[in-house]
A = this chain, B = another copy of it.
Amino acid sequence: MADALIDSLSRVWLFNALAKDDLVRLSQRAKTRVYKPRETIVTKGDPATDFFVLLRGRAKVTAQGADGADTAINVMGPGEVFGEIGILDGQPRSATVTTLEECEMAVVDKRAFHGLLAASPPVAIKLLAVLAGRIRELTICVEDRTFLDVPARLAKQLLWLAGNHGTGSGARVRIELKLSQQELGDFIGATRESVNKNLRDWSRSGFIKHERDYLEILDLDALRAIAERR
């Protein structure tokens, strides 16, 4: 029912300055859709027709190289939005988004999205801040790929995952890994083998404990030291 959608949308940061009326209107123009795990939502190069609000689940953003290889840029969680780039500049999708687990999204078409921006300046201003944040993240991504070696990038990635998608606190943080070592490698621009080697080394050193489907950080400071050294 619509009320649930209104409720969900009102909790999304981008929309929380919207008046009730606008929220209702938006929810009427939005469809919700559920995606299976590992499903591709938007594909780089395709025409951009919709804007998405991630209501439930996690999804990753990847860019692709010439051959099949891809590299992940971001992992998004509930409350985050995506798909705005192509809508804003009328160009094809700039990246690919794939679910990591079952996801529920609110889907807003191009016209409704532009209507929302025109009708509600505060949303446009907030969206500017969202894009500014993306630019920051991407800038850091470029820096990391340029200046950090593979162990540092991997350590940083694990710490990021721990902070954003991990459970537990203090010394021990647990990350339920929905990511294979291959995907972890894609994230940091390294091979599966390199990831494996480093995880193994760190396991032996007692910094982490990793099993098939989860990874536990035992020594946050050790990983921080690895991530920060250049």
How many residues of chain A get a CB closer than 8 Å to chain B's CBs? 41
Which of A21-29, A101-109, A119-127, A196-204 lies at the interface?
A: A119-127
Main secondary structure of the interface of A (DSSP, over half): helix
Q: How many of these chains are in the complex?
A: 2
Set of chain B residues within 8 Å of A138, measured between Cβ atoms: 135, 138-139, 141-142
**Contact A132 B88, CB 8 Å, known A125-B117, A139-B95:** yes
**Contact A136 B65, CB 8 Å, known A117-B128, A121-B118, A142-B145:** no
* Chain A to chain B contacts (Cβ below 8 Å), 22 pairs: A63-B146, A65-B147, A66-B228, A66-B230, A71-B142, A71-B146, A73-B142, A84-B132, A88-B128, A88-B131, A88-B132, A118-B125, A124-B125, A127-B128, A128-B128, A128-B131, A135-B138, A138-B138, A138-B139, A142-B145, A145-B145, A145-B146
